[in-house]
Structure 1
Amino acid sequence: MSDVARHDAVSPVLDRLNEIHPRLEALYKDLHAHPELSFAETRTAGVVAGELEKLGFEVTTKVGRTGVVGVLANGEGPRVLLRADFDALPVKEQTGLDYASQVSGTDPDGRQVPVMHACGHDMHVACLIGALDLLAGSREAWSGTVVAVFQPAEEVGSGAQAMVDDGLFDKAGTPDVVLGQHVAPIPTGMIGCHPGPALAATDALHVRMFGRGAHGSRPEAAIDPVVMAASTVMRLQTVVSREIAGGDTAVVTVGALNAGTKDNVIPDEAELKLNIRTYTPEVRATVLNAITRIVKAEAEAAGAERAPEITPIDTFPVLVNDPQAVERTTTALRAHFGEHAVVDRGPATGSEDCGVLATASGAPLCYWYFGGTDPAAFEKAEKNGTMGRDIPSNHSPSFAPLINPTLDIGVTAMTLAALTWLNPR
């Protein structure tokens, strides 16, 4: 199809965006104000299911516990899977927005924690609902089947697999392509997509190190797990700098260190929570082996009478974008948004489990980022060297995408991507 013909086919589909925008913005604000933790997204799932039913989709709920799937068959053609995640994070919101979250939830350890959409999954849902609305309202422009997957528990890396294990493809059919997107702290209007390994694998570990408690005035009677843990944290910083080749990439972060309750009591144990990012099986094995070796060695060096415990928490596979799928999809995005608006920003060390849907189905994957930051604020921070301070990133308590024009751009990008794979009429 020529560029002119494709534009003629796409334009009517997008014509209704201004009409549906107010409803989508209200939906986004509602979701933002009512976030839910991984595998607890019951209200969100109900809202999504209701929206899909209004659009005429065949709806299946409770797929992978709380996931929602909508199928819209519209004649012969490809089966295109469009995915959005919808879980939130245990973060206390500090945006000051009038629709900011005030809710709390129960985490997997049974603790009451504040909950916030600090990663933009509420934006993903609103954008996908918008794209589905446009597609459902213009069935004369395309043929094929749209499969909308609203996935739980992306933040813990197990929601996509849970949906696959629960028979997602038996219920919705095997897709010919998987398309997904994520809002990011880059300027609105910008889209980033990288072919090949685009997002890192993640391994999250819980480490318990055991000592012997005593009075703070008598450290000679103790085996101090605080010192043991502190030495481990410092030694772990050498894994990337001294055991990983300069041309390879790895990240080792100790995100939590907890021990003791009082200044004059040496506790019995300390716990660490680690996060590891890698791109290849070889580097991943090197990092995990080094962590295990260091944790055990530091415990032994401290005279620990009990070996440390290392338990996996979460794991994400590497997300690999199919080069041909990226080329096909980004060509359409560039034709609409402009040549300079769609860029290859290289691989990122963030992680995503959307790739599981592609790997499990054998379909090619195209996954991209779209900007949610005020371009003027971004340019100023970049010029002043204050990006880390002034531009909140995903998972920050201050993260909140600029609704306009981010919402419309996300709806448009997902709609264009879908139409690129569906058959034109």
Structure 2
Amino acid sequence: DALRVRLFGKGGHGSRPETTIDPVVLAASTVMRLQTVVSREIAGGETAVVTVGSVRAGTKHNIIPDEAELQLNIRTYTPEVRTRVLAAVERIIRGEAATAGAEKEPEITEIDTFPVVINDADAVDRTMAAVSAVLGTERVVDPGQVTGSEDVGIFATAAPGQVPLCYWLFGGADADEVIAAQRAGTFERDIPSNHSPSFAPLVEPTLTTGVTALTTAALAWLDGGRPAR
């Protein structure tokens, strides 16, 4: 789930904050309080991620603006946890606004929402068997559950049993750098993730491997399940 939140204050001059309701301070306290949703409201065995990816407020250093905007990204695996997280997020946003003395209720709007991506077990076995046969079993790894999101899950959700989904992740980092970082225990620090400004897949063998995997998977289905030639 992605949300846009408008927090309304009362603008004024930076020299006279007592005449204002500062939405910058309100936004800051809201961001900090939202960090407690996962750590204090979700059971340890459950998974949830709450990220504030955008904070916008003001135009000049000596002017207190009249509103601030947050953009949130929320990731959950189950409907129950999703409901609880969304409710907690809304409660905190409205509660912080009330505490700040905001004269207008926050505005919370949905940017987009996707269902959980659930792979079809038989489709995964069929597809990955074909890919492994061509690329080698050592190059196909099950990463387990991941918190990345993808709207392709809508197909499987809309037609359960009719659209056997097999969604896989594809790596393009320098293999030597990855191995070195893993051995040094610095993988999270040294290997850029997607959306990082430092993310830059190697052209080769990334391009050739990706095309091979995709065509192999397609042929495994188009050719009646027989091994790709």
1 CA distance for matches of 2:61 and 2:204? 50
- Give the deviation of 1:400 after TM superposition: 2.2
Q: 2:202 aligns with which of 387, 402, 407?
A: 402
1 CA distance for matches of 2:111 and 2:22? 25
Paired residues for 1:16-415 under 5 Å: 203-361=1-159, 362-415=162-215
Paired residue type of 1:395: H
List per-residue Cα deviations over 1:134-170 (Å, max 9, x = no partner): xxxxxxxxxxxxxxxxxxxxxxxxxxxxxxxxxxxxx
Where 2:157 maps in the other structure, the secondary structure is helix
2 CA distance for matches of 1:360 and 1:211? 42
1 CA distance for matches of 2:158 and 2:43? 32
List per-residue Cα deviations over 1:294-340 (Å, max 9, x = no partner): 00011111111100000111222211100111111112222222222
Task: Answer whether contact 2:7 2:23 (CA < 8 A) is retained.
Answer: yes
- Give the deviation of 1:232 after TM superposition: 0.6
Instruction: Tell whether 2:216 aligns with 1:416.
Output: yes
Where 1:290 maps in the other structure, the secondary structure is helix
Paired residue type of 1:340: E
2 CA distance for matches of 1:271 and 1:370? 34
Paired residue type of 1:406: T
2 CA distance for matches of 1:296 and 1:360? 34
Instruction: Give the TM-score, by structure 2 length.
Output: 0.91
Aligned residues: 223
- Give the deviation of 1:421 after TM superposition: 1.6
Q: Cα–Cα, structure 1 residues 423 and 262, in superposed 2: closer, same or farther, change >3 Å?
A: closer
2 CA distance for matches of 1:239 and 1:329? 38
Where 1:297 maps in the other structure, the secondary structure is helix
2 CA distance for matches of 1:377 and 1:277? 29
Q: Show structure 1 runs of 4+ deviating over 4 A.
A: none
2 CA distance for matches of 1:259 and 1:370? 37
RCO higher in structure (CA 8 A, sep ≥6):
1
Where 2:216 maps in the other structure, the secondary structure is helix
- Give the deviation of 1:408 after TM superposition: 1.5
2 CA distance for matches of 1:389 and 1:251? 20
Q: Percent identity?
A: 68
Task: Answer whether contact 2:11 2:65 (CA < 8 A) is retained.
Answer: yes
Gaps of 5+ in 2: none
Where 1:257 maps in the other structure, the secondary structure is strand
List per-residue Cα deviations over 1:204-243 (Å, max 9, x = no partner): 1111111111221211111111111111111100000011
List per-residue Cα deviations over 1:250-290 (Å, max 9, x = no partner): 00011111111222211111111111111111111111100
Paired residue type of 1:282: E
Instruction: Give the TM-score, by structure 1 length.
Output: 0.50
Q: RMSD value over aligned CA atoms?
A: 1.6
Identify the residue that residue 160 of structure 1 maps to in structure 2: none
2 CA distance for matches of 1:256 and 1:279? 23
Moved more, 364-373 or 287-296: 364-373
Where 1:298 maps in the other structure, the secondary structure is helix
